[in-house]
Amino acid sequence: MSEWVIGVIGGSGLYAIDALENPQWIAVASPWGQPSDALLTGTISGVKFVFLPRHGRGHRVSPGELNARANIDVLKRAGCTDVLSISAVGSLAEELPPGKFVIVDQFIDRTKGRPSSFFESGMVAHVSMADPVCPRLSGLAAAAARAAGADVHEGATYLAMEGPQFSTRAESNLYRGWGAHVIGMTAMPEAKLAREAELPYALVAMVTDYDCWREGEAHVDVATVVAQLGSNAATARALLAELAKSLPATRAPSPIDTNLDVALITAPDARDPALLAKLDAVAGRVLR
């Protein structure tokens, strides 16, 4: 693919992209169920963007009820070549205060009960998650964030918790001991599913609070988060405009574009036709 089509999954506080030219909301059906919302399509500086509000407009979908499989599937069906996730997070590190933009490069998955793969019995595949984000897209996002005026930190581990409740102090301190830097409720299994769909994925984490580990710090609540979201979201929208201007004219291939070449394990004659039909967008390139 030589043309960039950037999928953007907007987290808390980011429900639209003001800079889009010729914006249009389109509904895309998925065999994996209902996505969070319709897709907002348009261009910025000649680059096509496809925006999905992760929690739906009006923030109506709880983290544990997100249909991440449908969300990634519809972005793939819409022709996205890369996916940029923008998420609100709590900080588990003193050096990452509220307002900081953090470019995540690793994850610890503590979610439970969420379907985390497109591949099931009847079509088994195993993708590598050793390096779970795309370094190219992450670098471009970091540069765009700085150009937009953000205070940026590159390289951090995101602890994905189930939610929707915030952490206990004991949990918050445990995660700090594990080496996690930020905490959120939505990046998993989203990042895993993007990898299975051969979509290079990057995550910009916008810090809203210090979680609850910090001695003497007021515990995190929705009011605290919402107060920080306004300025973070404005910077995130500027980031997308800067990203569009900075993308190379031609998109060079990424190794992630073809990672399913070495992931499928089920023998062709043992594959479930019904599951193959559901995988038409995600894995059609290697299943045809």
Q: Under DSSP, is residue 268 helix (H, G, I), strand (E, B) or coil?
A: helix
Of the chain, the end-to-end C-alpha distance in Å amounts to: 18
**In which residue are the tokens 């390289």 written?**
155
Taking a C-beta distance cutoff of 8 angstroms, is the pair 194, 81 a contact?
Answer: no
> DSSP string spanning 34-72?
--SS-EEEEEETTEEEEEEETTTTTT-S-GGG--HHHHH
CB 206 within 8 A of CB 87: yes
State how beta strands 39-44 and 21-26 pair. Answer: antiparallel
Q: Which residue reads 């019995």 in tokens?
A: 121
The Cα–Cα gap between 54 and 77 comes to 17
**Cα gap 253→90, rounded to integer Å:** 34
Residues carrying an active site annotation: 209, 211
> Computed from CA positions of residues 146, 233, 49, 188, in that sequence, does the dihedral angle turn out positive or negative?
positive
How far apart are alpha carbons 244 and 5 in whole angstroms?
10
